Amino acid sequence: MSLVTELLAGNRRALARIISQVEDDGPEAHALLAELHPHTGRSHVIGVTGAPGTGKSTLVNALAKTYRSQGQTVGIIAVDPTSPFSGGALLGDRVRMRDLAGDPGVFIRSMATRGSLGGLARATADVILVLDAAGFDRILVETVGVGQAEVEIASAAHTTIVVEAPGLGDEVQAIKAGVLEIADLFAVNKADREGADRAVLALQMMQGLAPAPAGHHGTGRQAGHAAPGAQADGAWLPPITKTIAVRGEGVAALHDWVEQHAAYLRETGQLARREATRAATALNHILRERLIAALFAGLTNGELDRAISAIARRELDPYTAADHLLQAEKPGFPGIVRRP
Ligand SMILES: Nc1nc2c(ncn2[C@@H]2O[C@H](COP(=O)(O)OP(=O)(O)O)[C@@H](O)[C@H]2O)c(=O)[nH]1
Ligand SMILES: [Mg+2]
């Protein structure tokens, strides 16, 4: 039996081996992914993002347990774009997800930085694809909130949960990072701590649902009326749920919102749009990596270094240098830009 056939039959060892090959990004990896691709499209992918220490891993663990109690299988990917090793933070995650270990309905994988953010986002999308083909009903992807990284990786999710927690300095972290735009749901975790209600209020203010005190700017939405979730005009107003992940409190409500959002995506036809966005992002990452690799492979020894020195000496500007490098007719380079 081939590795792919074994994976499709539910063999967990085959799954682990395929993921390792995909992570190594070897030549077999692409063939495996191509073979798996027709078997995907059934999993609902849930991104969980937020600043370090907000309780994402604890929340993912609790959400996974809720899904398991309903008989659904869960794949978990913990992504740390800040760490070049699967070191400290992810080790902590493993401890926090220990009680899921040994459950064949759960598969946990940690991933760390691989050269570039685009590379990490692509690798994450690849592992999501494998877990999808393996038949996991829900895939939870935890990303550390560091701005662009979470936005990139969130683009692989159907539903994105932004996790906030009181006592981390700012009222809410989402305000500064532009993370607001990617949130389908907000979880204000550590609701057992002082300041949780203020964080909820700050988020409601950003949504224009609470009257802003003097000096704050709302979004201009009508204050006070709309209930969260699907709106009459077809829009989605992200619900804000208070959770105490360590005790599992509020997690059932959060779970229900995730499922409501999934139903909303299906019923409004937005799922197809998200799928198109996911496909575009995936293709984009691959094309960018391939084109750069093809260009570098086509450069003769020292060509790039000479261009760099010339720019540094102010003999050449970087745009002209890039034009020269792209226009040179090189074997192996697909020749996207040809000399007229
Ligand atoms: N008081 C309190 N602590 C929590 C809660 N959720 C998580 N924690 C703790 O916060 C710390 C960071 O949690 P973790 O899940 O690793 O956060 P992550 O960095 O966002 O993944 C751990 O010590 C958790 O036990 C909560 O609801 N209340
Ligand atoms: Mg974590």
Task: For ligand 1, say whether the CB of 54 is within 6 Å of any of its atoms.
Answer: yes
Token digits for 31? Answer: 């063939």
Token digits for 290? Answer: 């391939």
Token digits for 58? Answer: 């604890």
Which ligand 1 atom sits nearest the alpha carbon of residue 93? Answer: 16
pLDDT digits (tens, 9 = 90+) for 299-332: 877 888 899 999 999 999 999 998 888 876 555 4
Inter-residue contact 264 to 229 (CB < 8 Å): yes
Separation of CA 193 and ligand 2 centre (Å): 19
Task: Report which bound ligand comes closest to the CA of 249.
Answer: 1
Answer yes or no: is pLDDT of 214 > 70: no
Task: Report which bound ligand comes closest to the CA of 145.
Answer: 1
Task: Report which bound ligand comes closest to the CA of 190.
Answer: 1
Answer yes or no: is pLDDT of 85 > 70: no
Q: 275: pLDDT confidence band, cut at 50, 70 and 90? A: very high
Q: Whose CA is nearest to atom 14 of ligand 1?
A: 55
Task: For ligand 1, say whether the CB of 92 is within 6 Å of any of its atoms.
Answer: yes
Give me the pLDDT at residue 75, please.
96
In DSSP terms, 140 is beta-bridged to 46, 76
Q: Which residues of 307-318 are buried (b: 16+ CB within 10 A; e: fewer)?
A: beebbeeeebee
Which ligand 1 atom sits nearest the alpha carbon of residue 163? Answer: 20
Task: For ligand 1, say whether the CB of 245 is within 6 Å of any of its atoms.
Answer: yes
pLDDT digits (tens, 9 = 90+) for 17-49: 999 999 888 788 999 999 999 999 999 999 998
Task: Report which bound ligand comes closest to the CA of 245.
Answer: 1
Which ligand 1 atom sits nearest the alpha carbon of residue 243? Answer: 27
Give residues with Cβ within 8 angstroms of 18, minimum separation 6: 3, 4, 7, 32, 36, 130
Task: For ligand 1, say whether the CB of 43 is within 6 Å of any of its atoms.
Answer: no
Provide mean pLDDT across the span 143-172: 77
| More confident: 208 or 249 | 249
Give me the pLDDT at residue 156, please.
86
Task: For ligand 1, say whether the CB of 249 is within 6 Å of any of its atoms.
Answer: no
CA 292/CA 285 separation, integer angstroms:
11
Provide mean pLDDT across the span 118-128: 85
Give me the pLDDT at residue 333, please.
44
CA 19/CA 27 separation, integer angstroms:
14
Give me the pLDDT at residue 92, please.
53
Separation of CA 95 and ligand 1 centre (Å): 12
Task: For ligand 1, say whether the CB of 250 is within 6 Å of any of its atoms.
Answer: no
| More confident: 339 or 144 | 144
Give me the pLDDT at residue 335, please.
41
What's the burial of 105, exposed, middle or buried (CB within 10 Å: 0-12/13-18/19+)?
A: middle
Task: For ligand 1, say whether the CB of 158 is within 6 Å of any of its atoms.
Answer: no
Q: 180: pLDDT confidence band, cut at 50, 70 and 90? A: confident
Answer yes or no: is pLDDT of 179 > 80: no
Task: Report which bound ligand comes closest to the CA of 53.
Answer: 1
Q: Is the dihedral of CA 245, 250, 252, 256 positive or negative?
A: negative
Query: How far are the Cα atoms of 11, 113, 294 from residue 33, in angstroms, in the given order?
Result: 17, 21, 21
Nearest to 109 by CA among 86, 134, 88: 86
Inter-residue contact 332 to 298 (CB < 8 Å): yes
Kindly report which listed range (17-31, 176-190, 271-285) carries the lowest average pLDDT score.
176-190
In DSSP terms, 50 is beta-bridged to 144, 163
Give me the pLDDT at residue 184, please.
95
Domain 40-268 part of CATH 3.40.50.300: yes
- The pLDDT > 70 percentage for the chain reads 79
Q: Whose CA is nearest to atom 2 of ligand 1?
A: 190
Q: Whose CA is nearest to atom 10 of ligand 1?
A: 55
Domains of the chain by residue range: 1-38, 40-268
Token digits for 271? Answer: 């799922």
Give me the pLDDT at residue 339, please.
42
Give me the pLDDT at residue 289, please.
83
CA 251/CA 242 separation, integer angstroms:
9
Q: Whose CA is nearest to atom 7 of ligand 1?
A: 55
Separation of CA 122 and ligand 1 centre (Å): 28
Which ligand 1 atom sits nearest the alpha carbon of residue 249? Answer: 27
CA 332/CA 329 separation, integer angstroms:
9
| More confident: 166 or 82 | 166
Q: 113: pLDDT confidence band, cut at 50, 70 and 90? A: low
Provide mean pLDDT across the span 44-66: 92
Give me the pLDDT at residue 288, please.
86
Q: 87: pLDDT confidence band, cut at 50, 70 and 90? A: very low
- Exposure on the CB side of residue 295, measured as CA atoms within 13 A: 18
Separation of CA 90 and ligand 2 centre (Å): 6
CA 143/CA 109 separation, integer angstroms:
12
Q: 296: pLDDT confidence band, cut at 50, 70 and 90? A: confident
Give me the pLDDT at residue 340, please.
44
